[in-house]
């Protein structure tokens, strides 16, 4: 028997078509958009949507991928079986019919319609017996169906059909894969004279691929539903955790809106940096707002007190001037000496008013930043010497020793000489004013690591400890009126502090009641002024 031709019918790979989803129409809701308004609910919906889309893509693409994979595997297997089938069929027929004959035996008889020859029935068995079970075992572990047609041109004319069932696997009636080839209808004959017969052998195991795919899809569906449920629970918990800082920030914002300026948000440790930055920014904003409000309230109170003090300070000299003027105008004072005394007192009150107005104007300029510093890298010793020399006559009249201690080498420092001189004049004037006769006032200039330091030390009446935080407040004059403290207006130290801060420095005060006071002014070498508008270099 000679093999003449072989044809393979390609398998029709099933294609799983998915119907496109219907167009989603906008929800007909009157009160809002399609998504929920809550940010937490939107996070949950977003997580669920991502999981649902991922599961849908997996379930939509998995069956076609599995079908294609199994089809390729089965096609490769069938290619191998096709090559094997030629040899198995020929050898099986030859072994059954004998090898010592030279007479060609036909596969089909030339009847109409064609019928299987006795040799074919003897070799493969009758359709009723199906005795060649070992043939199915040899070819494949599956059910086998052998069909012999009259010719390749008439494959529908079946002359012989044999079903071989292998155990209980599969069903022989379901044709799944077919291997078709042609054989010459005669053994030991020539290919030119022997007719060609079409032999189709069906190898089927219908439960293998279909059941596998169905099982996988079922498992995937169950796993998808379970994953969706778990995703819903996880998204709810995760959304609650993610939105908890926002809820706490919202509560703190509402407290701040209701007037609780101390409302703060705890910065989460180990959380996302964005949430930490947001909480830190809110706390910084709340702290600045609280500081601003407290400063505004304090400034309002200070302004109210300032106006009251200014009114009081102005009322005293104005009342004295009015009294003197009325007495002099009405002729109530006939004594020339008394009249001269009244005139001298009037002159002092007018000077006091002028001094008060000048200092108030100076403070106003300093506060508004209208004062421009004329910074020069001059020797600070010259400013100290000038201020001490100007105060020496006053100290001599009161019987107070005024001394200064200066470094031997020049101490250049960028500063505004007139303003620093004003600072020293105010400090020395206060020290002399509140130091009793026989006391001393010492001015010390020294160089420190970060700049220069000025100390004004007196042996005066001193300041109570509870008064020290308020000595730089405007019009503050303390409680020890009987010891001369009321003689001042309470503006000198305020001016000192403003000028020093404009130079980027700081002023501190230490005092012991009955022993004296020490005021320290520290000016930095690297000058940083408090306001760019206040500098003129």
pLDDT, tens digit, for every residue of 231-241? 888 878 877 77
Reference 205, options 70, 94, 335, 295; nearest CA is: 70
The DSSP code sequence of 160-198 is: EEEEE--TTSS-TTS--EEEEEEEESSSS--TTTSPEEE
Would you state the pLDDT for residue 409? 92
**Residues 6+ positions from 110 with CB-CB distance below 8 Å:** none
What DSSP state is assigned to residue 534? G
**CB-based contact 439:380 (threshold 8 Å):** no
- φ and ψ at 477, to 5 degrees? -130, 5
Dist CA 473 CA 488 (whole Å): 13
| Of residues 418 and 192, more confidently modeled | 418
pLDDT band (50, 70, 90) for residue 519? very high
Dist CA 475 CA 509 (whole Å): 17
The DSSP code sequence of 451-509 is: EEEEEEEE-SS---GGGGGGTTSTT---S-GGGTGGGS-S-HHHHHHHHHHHTT-EEEE
Report how far apart, in Å, the C-alpha atoms of 240 and of each of 45, 128, 234, 443 are: 13, 73, 10, 67
Which residues on adjacent β-strands are paired with residue 535? 373
| pLDDT of 533 higher than 90 | no
pLDDT band (50, 70, 90) for residue 325? confident
CATH fold of 270-368, please?
A: Helix Hairpins (1.10.287)
Place of tokens 């509402």: 254
| pLDDT of 117 higher than 80 | no
**CB-based contact 533:369 (threshold 8 Å):** yes
Dist CA 313 CA 307 (whole Å): 10
Q: What is the CATH number of domain 371-536?
A: 3.30.565.10
Decide: pTM greater than 0.75.
no
Dist CA 461 CA 514 (whole Å): 5
pLDDT band (50, 70, 90) for residue 169? very low
Structure tokens at 440: 């001393």
411-446 residue pLDDT tens:
998 898 988 998 999 899 889 988 999 999 999 999
Q: What is the mean pLDDT of the chain?
A: 73
- Grouping H, G, I as helix, E, B as strand and the rest as coil, residue 4 is strand
All structural domains of the chain with their residue ranges: 3-15+35-212, 270-368, 371-536
**CB-based contact 177:202 (threshold 8 Å):** yes
């Amino acid at each position: 028997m000679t093999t003449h031709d072989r044809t393979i019918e390609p398998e029709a790979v099933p294609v799983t078509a998915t119907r496109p989803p219907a167009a989603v129409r906008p929800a007909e809701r009157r009160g809002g958009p399609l998504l929920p308004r809550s940010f937490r609910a939107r996070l949950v919906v977003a997580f669920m949507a991502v999981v649902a889309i991922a599961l849908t893509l997996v379930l939509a693409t998995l069956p076609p991928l599995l079908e294609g994979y199994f089809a390729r595997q089965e096609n490769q297997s069938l290619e191998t079986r096709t090559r094997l089938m030629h040899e198995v069929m020929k050898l099986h027929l030859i072994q059954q019919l004998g090898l010592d004959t030279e007479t060609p035996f036909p596969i089909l008889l030339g009847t109409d319609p064609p019928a299987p020859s006795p040799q074919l029935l003897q070799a493969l068995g009758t359709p009723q017996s199906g005795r060649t079970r070992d043939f199915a075992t040899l070819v494949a572990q599956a059910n086998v169906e052998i069909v012999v047609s009259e010719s390749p041109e008439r494959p529908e004319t079946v002359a012989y059909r044999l079903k071989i069932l292998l155990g209980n696997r599969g069903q022989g009636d379901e044709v799944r894969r077919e291997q078709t080839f042609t054989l010459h209808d005669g053994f030991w004959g020539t290919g030119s004279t022997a007719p060609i017969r079409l032999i189709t052998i069906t190898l089927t195991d219908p439960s293998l691929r279909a059941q596998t795919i169905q099982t996988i899809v079922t498992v995937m569906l169950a796993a998808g539903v379970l994953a969706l449920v778990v995703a819903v629970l996880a998204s709810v918990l995760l959304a609650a955790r993610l939105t908890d800082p926002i809820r706490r920030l919202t509560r703190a914002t509402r407290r701040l809106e209701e007037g609780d300026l101390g409302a703060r948000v705890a910065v989460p440790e180990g959380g996302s940096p964005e949430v930490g930055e947001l909480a830190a920014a809110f706390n910084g904003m709340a702290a600045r707002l609280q500081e601003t409000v407290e400063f505004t309230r304090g400034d309002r109170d200070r302004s109210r007190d300032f106006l009251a003090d200014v009114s009081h300070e102005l009322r005293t000299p104005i009342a004295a001037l009015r009294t003197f003027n009325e007495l002099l105008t009405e002729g109530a004072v006939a004594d020339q000496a008394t009249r001269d005394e009244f005139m001298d007192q009037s002159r002092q009150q007018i000077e006091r008013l002028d001094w008060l107005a000048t200092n108030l104007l100076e403070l106003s300029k300093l506060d508004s930043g209208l004062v421009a510093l004329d910074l020069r890298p001059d020797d600070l010793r010259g400013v100290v010497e000038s201020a001490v020399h100007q105060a020496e006559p006053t100290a001599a009249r009161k019987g107070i020793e005024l001394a200064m201690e200066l470094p031997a080498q020049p101490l250049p420092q960028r500063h505004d000489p007139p303003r620093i001189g004003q600072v020293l004049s105010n400090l020395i004037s206060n020290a002399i004013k509140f130091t009793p006769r026989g006391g001393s006032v010492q001015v010390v200039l020294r160089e420190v690591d970060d700049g220069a330091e000025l100390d004004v030390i007196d042996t005066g009446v001193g300041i109570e400890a509870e008064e020290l935080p308020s000595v730089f407040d405007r019009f503050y004059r303390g409680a020890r009126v009987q010891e001369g403290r009321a003689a001042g207006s309470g503006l000198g130290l305020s001016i000192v502090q403003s000028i020093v801060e404009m130079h980027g420095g700081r002023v501190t005060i230490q005092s012991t009641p009955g022993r004296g006071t020490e005021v320290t002014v520290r000016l930095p070498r690297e000058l940083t002024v408090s306001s760019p508008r206040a500098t003129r270099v």
